[in-house]
C-alpha cells in the first residue's frame, strides 16, 4: 500500500469520491500537507435535500490535523458547492474528515476533548496542540453543547440539588445531578446560574424540551434552603423532598461551634485549641484530640453538652431501622429542646419545622454525598483554571468533567494490545 492510500484510509476516505492526490513535507516549515481531491464527474448530496447533485464550483479549504510525529499536519481540499435548485440553492457539501465551519479535523477536535476531560485546562490544551485558547474553547463549546443535548434523561427518577460558588461574592450555580443508581454512574444533569427557586423551574423546562415529564422525578434531595424548597414545591410538587443527611448534621455542627466560640470568651483556658477535637469525626482524631474531647465532655461547660447532642444525632441518623430512628429523632428533638443551650434549641426547632424532609432520609437513605463529591471536582477545575471568563465556559467544563458525556467522534488515541483469554 503506497503512502497516499495509507493516508486515505487513515482519514476515512474509503468508499467516498475523495482521494489523496499528494503528500507534501516541508522540512524548513516542519509541516506536512495532505492534498485531497475528487474525481471529475463526482456527485455529492445536497446538505438540505440530500439529493445527489453535480458540482457547481469549489472553494479552497484547509484543516489542522493531528501532528505527524513532531510536525504540524494539514489537510487541504477544494470543497465543492452544489446547486439544489429552487428552494435549496447553492450550498457547500460536507467532508468526511471534518465538521462544517471548523478549521480542525474531527480527530484533532477529538484529541482536544480527550485532553480537556483528563483534567487539562483549555489553556493547557491549547499549549499542547499549538493553538490559540479561544480556538480550543470554540471546539469544546460546540461538542459539549451537542453531547449534553443528546444526554438520555428518560430513566432519571432521583435527583440531587446543590450549589457551587462561581466567583467571589454572591455568584453561584445550582448543580442538578443524578446519584449513582441502577448500575448508572452519577452525573451532572444541568448547571443553572443562580440559587433561587427559578433554577428548579429551568430544570423542569429542560425536561419538557426533551419531551419528558417532570412527573418522572420521584425523589429530590436538597439542603434546607428556602429557595430550593419553594422551587421544588412549585415545579416538582409530586416528588418526595429529602433533606440531605450531611446538611442536617452540619446544622448541629455549626451550632456546636457557635457554643464553643461563645464560651471561649468566658473560659479561654478550658477551651483553648479544642475546635477540631470537637468537630472532627471519631475516626480522624489524633490521640491528643481524643483526650481533649473527653476532657471537655466530662466538664460542666455547654460545649461538652452540645457535642453530646451532635454525637447522639449522628448515631440516630445512622440507624438502619427507619422506624426506630424516627422514634429516636423525636426523643432527640425533645431532649435538645429542653436544654439550656440556645444555639442547640434553635437547631431542634429547625428540624421540627422541616420534619417530613428529615424523616424522608431515614426511610430512603438518599443523600447528597455524590453531589458533594461532584462539587469537589468542580471546585478543583475552577481553581486549576483560576476562574472562567464567562458562565458559559464554566458550565461547559462542568459538563465535560462531570456529566459523562458521549461524543460522536473518532478515537484519537492508538489502540493498545491486550492479552487474549
Q: Over the stretch 286-296, which tens digit does the pLDDT of each residue have?
A: 999 999 999 99
Taking residues 86-115, report their average pLDDT.
92
Global pTM? 0.86
Q: Is the pLDDT of residue 351 over 60?
A: yes
Taking residues 129-151, report their average pLDDT.
95
Q: What is the CATH number of domain 158-244+368-402?
A: 3.30.420.10
User: For the chain, what are the domain ranges?
Assistant: 3-146, 158-244+368-402, 245-364
d(CA 292, CA 294): 5
Confidence tier at 11 by pLDDT (50, 70, 90): confident
Q: Is the pLDDT of residue 415 over 60?
A: no
Burial state string for 225-250 with b = 16 or more CB within 10 A and e = fewer than 16: bebbbebbeebbeebbbbbbbbbbee
Lowest mean pLDDT of 80-89, 187-196, 393-402, name the range.
Answer: 80-89
- Give me the sign of the Cα torsion angle 148, 149, 154, 158: positive
Answer whether 306's CB lies under 8 Å from 343's CB. Answer: yes
Q: Which residue has the higher pLDDT, 271 or 166?
A: 271
Q: Over the stretch 305-329, which tens digit does the pLDDT of each residue have?
A: 999 999 999 999 999 999 999 999 9
Q: Which residue has the higher pLDDT, 165 or 162?
A: 162
Residue in the block written with cell 468537630: 279
Q: Over the stretch 17-76, which tens digit does the pLDDT of each residue have?
A: 999 999 999 988 889 999 999 988 999 999 988 899 999 999 999 999 999 888 999 999
Q: Is the pLDDT of residue 387 over 80?
A: no
What pLDDT score does 377 carry?
85
CA–CA distances in Å: residue 22 to residues 8, 67, 70: 11, 17, 20
What pLDDT score does 12 carry?
85
CB neighbours of 231 closer than 8 A, spacing ≥ 6?
196, 197, 198, 199, 200, 201
Q: Over the stretch 224-268, which tens digit does the pLDDT of each residue have?
A: 999 999 999 999 999 999 998 889 999 999 999 999 999 999 999
Amino acid at each position: 500500500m503506497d503512502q497516499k492510500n495509507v493516508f486515505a484510509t487513515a482519514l476515512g476516505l474509503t468508499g467516498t469520491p475523495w482521494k489523496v492526490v499528494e503528500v507534501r513535507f516541508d522540512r524548513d516549515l516542519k509541516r506536512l500537507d495532505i492534498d485531497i481531491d475528487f474525481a471529475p464527474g463526482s456527485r455529492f448530496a445536497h446538505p438540505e435535500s440530500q439529493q445527489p447533485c453535480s458540482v457547481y464550483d469549489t472553494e479552497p479549504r484547509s484543516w489542522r490535523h493531528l501532528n505527524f510525529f513532531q510536525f504540524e499536519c494539514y489537510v487541504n481540499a477544494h470543497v465543492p458547492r452544489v446547486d439544489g435548485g429552487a428552494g435549496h440553492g447553492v450550498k457547500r457539501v460536507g467532508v468526511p474528515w471534518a465538521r462544517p465551519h471548523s478549521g480542525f479535523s474531527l480527530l484533532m477536535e477529538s484529541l482536544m476533548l480527550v485532553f480537556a476531560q483528563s483534567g487539562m485546562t483549555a489553556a493547557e490544551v491549547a499549549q499542547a496542540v499549538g493553538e490559540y485558547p479561544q480556538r480550543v474553547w470554540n471546539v469544546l463549546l460546540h461538542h459539549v453543547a451537542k453531547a449534553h443535548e443528546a444526554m438520555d434523561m428518560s430513566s432519571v427518577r432521583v435527583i440531587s440539588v446543590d450549589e457551587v460558588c462561581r466567583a467571589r461574592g454572591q455568584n453561584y450555580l445550582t448543580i442538578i445531578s443524578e446519584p449513582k443508581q441502577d448500575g448508572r454512574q452519577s452525573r451532572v444533569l444541568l448547571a443553572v446560574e443562580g440559587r433561587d427557586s427559578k433554577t428548579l423551574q429551568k430544570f423542569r423546562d429542560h425536561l419538557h424540551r426533551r419531551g419528558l415529564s417532570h412527573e418522572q422525578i420521584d425523589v429530590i434531595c436538597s439542603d434546607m434552603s428556602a429557595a430550593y424548597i419553594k422551587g421544588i414545591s412549585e415545579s416538582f410538587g409530586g416528588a418526595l423532598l429529602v433533606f440531605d443527611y450531611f446538611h442536617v448534621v452540619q446544622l448541629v455542627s455549626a451550632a456546636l461551634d457557635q457554643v464553643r466560640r461563645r464560651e471561649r470568651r468566658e473560659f479561654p483556658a478550658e477551651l483553648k485549641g479544642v475546635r477540631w477535637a470537637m468537630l472532627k469525626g471519631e475516626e480522624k482524631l489524633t490521640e491528643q484530640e481524643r483526650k481533649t474531647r473527653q476532657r471537655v465532655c466530662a466538664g460542666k461547660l455547654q460545649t461538652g453538652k452540645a457535642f453530646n447532642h451532635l454525637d447522639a444525632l449522628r448515631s440516630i441518623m445512622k440507624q438502619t431501622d427507619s422506624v426506630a430512628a424516627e422514634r429516636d429523632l423525636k426523643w432527640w428533638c425533645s431532649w435538645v429542646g429542653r436544654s439550656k443551650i440556645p444555639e442547640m434549641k434553635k437547631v431542634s426547632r429547625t428540624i421540627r419545622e422541616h420534619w417530613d424532609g428529615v424523616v424522608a432520609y431515614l426511610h430512603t437513605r438518599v443523600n447528597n454525598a455524590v453531589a458533594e463529591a461532584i462539587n469537589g471536582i468542580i471546585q478543583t477545575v475552577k481553581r486549576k483554571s483560576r476562574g472562567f471568563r464567562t458562565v458559559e465556559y464554566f458550565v461547559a467544563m462542568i459538563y465535560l468533567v462531570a456529566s459523562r458525556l458521549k461524543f460522536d467522534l473518532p478515537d484519537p488515541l492508538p489502540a493498545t494490545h491486550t492479552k487474549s483469554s
